[in-house]
Amino acid sequence: MAVTIGPGQEHETQRIHELLEPMLETSPLPEHLAGDKAYSAGWFRALLKEIGIVPVIPHKSNEKDKPKRFLRTLYKRRNVIERCFGRLKWFRRIATRYEKLALHYLGMLHVAIIVRLLGG
């Protein structure tokens, strides 16, 4: 599991290399990577295909050259990730961004992951 944080005004795809790097060091790589429409960018899809991962990302309505098929069954399993975020937000310090320093917030996020996701 990889976690990174950035400024609120930055788009989440700007941190994708930081998240993919630890995954590339492990083996085997996942066969698929799911994301919402925010991750629907040509460069990101090309990056995933280059490293051998099938993107499971719906296309935006205004995108050109949309493929006809989409792995909906795999995309529906993305709710597991959304539920993980919901469980992390049970920590008030995480949900309200109580910690103002990024280092402290990241530390609290790690504690929340250990307690809520790994500890039961």
d(CA 70, CA 72): 6
pLDDT band of residue 97 (cuts 50, 70, 90) is confident
d(CA 98, CA 33): 31
pLDDT band of residue 107 (cuts 50, 70, 90) is very high
pLDDT band of residue 85 (cuts 50, 70, 90) is confident
pTM: 0.75
DSSP string, the chain: -------TTS-GGGGHHHHHHHHHHSSSPPSEEE--GGG--HHHHHHHHHTT-EEE-PPPTT-SS--S---HHHHHTTHHHHHHHHHHTTSHHHHTT---SHHHHHHHHHHHIIIIII--
- 25-57: per-residue pLDDT in tens? 877 888 998 888 888 888 998 999 999 999 998
Q: What residue ranges do the domains of the chain occupy?
A: 1-66, 78-120
- 50-76: per-residue pLDDT in tens? 999 999 988 888 877 777 677 888 888
